[in-house]
Chains A and B, each alone.
Chain A
Amino acid sequence: DTGVSQDPRHKITKRGQNVTFRCDPISEHNRLYWYRQTLGQGPEFLTYFQNEAQLEKSRLLSDRFSAERPKGSFSTLEIQRTEQGDSAMYLCASSTGTSGLTQFFGPGTRLTVL
């Protein structure tokens, strides 16, 4: 257990539905990252927060994706009008300046879009 939790661990949904995932980072970590991993591939960067500010978004993050980190604590990632291509593992990681650059990963949320 790295101290980063994600909920739910698994989500099955039908195409066109909206889904929301939550990430709770280690409490003192000010940096939070979302990554996406498809089968057989390494993770890919989606977005980055420093405290409550979303400072970078990948081109992978289409208009159907939105992420928030209110109050700089937990974060949510919402996907609207899901498509089969959204099926993947969504990983959250957190870090802080005092931990150096080491990122601590959550267990991930596996999304299956039918």
Chain B
Amino acid sequence: KNEVEQSPQNLTAQEGEFITINCSYSVGISALHWLQQHPGGGIVSLFMLSSGKKKHGRLIATINIQEKHSSLHITASHPRDSAVYICAPHSGGSNYKLTFGKGTLLTVNP
């Protein structure tokens, strides 16, 4: 069993729809990152959270440490949101290395 499971693997939405991507993990963690990767490889960190909820523009991330689950929500989705979204917890320790999910490919159609 993978340490980090994301669902769905692929998601197609119409512009304006509310999007939810889920992440479950099996390891104990100290924080979790949501990352965005556009075609061509570049990865951008969207959120790092260790409890509760964070909001940045149309993006909202939540985490439940006890249930080992996090969600990324996109409100009023737009075609420019099309990308791969990756959940990456890190288990603490002194190196803070990340363990990555396989990612969710989001396509938002106009």
Contact = CB atoms under 8 A, between A and B. Distances in A.
- Tell me whether A and B are bound partners: yes
Interface of A: 2, 31, 33, 35, 37, 40-45, 48, 50, 55-56, 89, 91, 93, 95, 100-105, 107-108, 110
B78 interface: no
Given A40-B102, A42-B103, A105-B43, A48 B88 contact: no
Contacts of A43: 43, 86, 98, 100
The binding surface of chain A is classed by DSSP as: strand
Interface of B: 4, 30-31, 33, 35, 40-45, 48, 86, 88, 90, 94-103
A55 B97 CA distance: 11
B102 A42 contact: yes
A100 B88 contact: no
B40, B44, B96, B100 pick with most chain A CB within 10 angstroms: B96
A77 B92 CA distance: 25
Contacts of A37: 41
A112 B39 CA distance: 17
A45 B45 contact: no
B33 A107 contact: no
B48 A48 contact: no
